[in-house]
Amino acid sequence: MSSFLLATLATLAMLTGTFIGIYLHVRLPDDHLTDETKDIVKLATGILATIAGLVLSLLITTAKSSYDAVADDVKGAAADFILTDRTLAQMGPEAAKMRQLLRQTLEIAKNADLTKAMNVGARVDPLSQAATYVDEIGRLVRDMPLAKPSDEWLRQRTLTLLTDLSRVRWMLQQEATNVLPGPFVAIVVIWLGIIFAGFGLFAPLNPTAIGALVLGAISISASLFLIDELNTPFHGIVHISTSPFVEAARIMGPLR
């Protein structure tokens, strides 16, 4: 389900609840609309609104933390490219082939559309191709003869960085499959519909009150939209860019 569709359904649920409340306000007998009844309905909707508010705030915080973690992983991968290149450079001209292959790998990552690359089942996955190149660099590094014994530390350092690059690729793939559980979302939307039904039950029937409820429903739906967007960092409007890879390519420059 897309973020926009989720927000639309949530808005419709809250507006439906509002108009059900208005309908009951008109149809119910007066003894069902006393001040005591109004207080009970306010208490029930207040408790439900508090729970829903806590859940939404927790979801926003969790989704933002997850989004920031993915963005940090992308930045970390870009930094690993730079560190790997500089480590290989210290191993002398024998590492020129690996450094050139590393630049080709970075070029793939830089030009990849992460939104499409992270789609499960995509026909073309440039990041899988980049991961293959990383594996090939690792093989070349392991087979490369060392000019001096002290280069063994550089070899191990390079292999560690390459392992980090491979790990980040699979972590990003995992993050790309994050979705909000359907039953959980359905329960939250039902809560919101019930809350707005309580609002509509005792709302004054004038354009200002109705307009305020409509704007409130749209605003709450916007929070659900934001949660779903942040929870799927490679899809939708709010998504991770490859700008860190572009900057890494600029810093590394052409092979000399």
Q: What is the pLDDT of residue 120?
A: 46
pTM of the entire predicted model? 0.74
Which of 28-42, 45-59, 125-139, 218-232 comes out lowest in average pLDDT? 125-139
Rounded mean pLDDT, 140-163: 85
Question: pLDDT tens, 99-147?
Answer: 898 888 888 877 765 555 555 444 445 567 777 888 888 888 888 887 7
Closest alpha carbon to 201 in 15, 20, 12: 20
Write down the mean pLDDT value for the chain: 83
Higher pLDDT, 16 or 131: 16
Q: What is the pLDDT of residue 255?
A: 72
Q: Where are the alpha helices (DSSP H) in the chain?
A: 3-27, 35-89, 96-111, 114-117, 126-143, 151-176, 182-202, 207-231, 243-252
Which of 81-85, 169-173, 239-243 comes out lowest in average pLDDT? 169-173
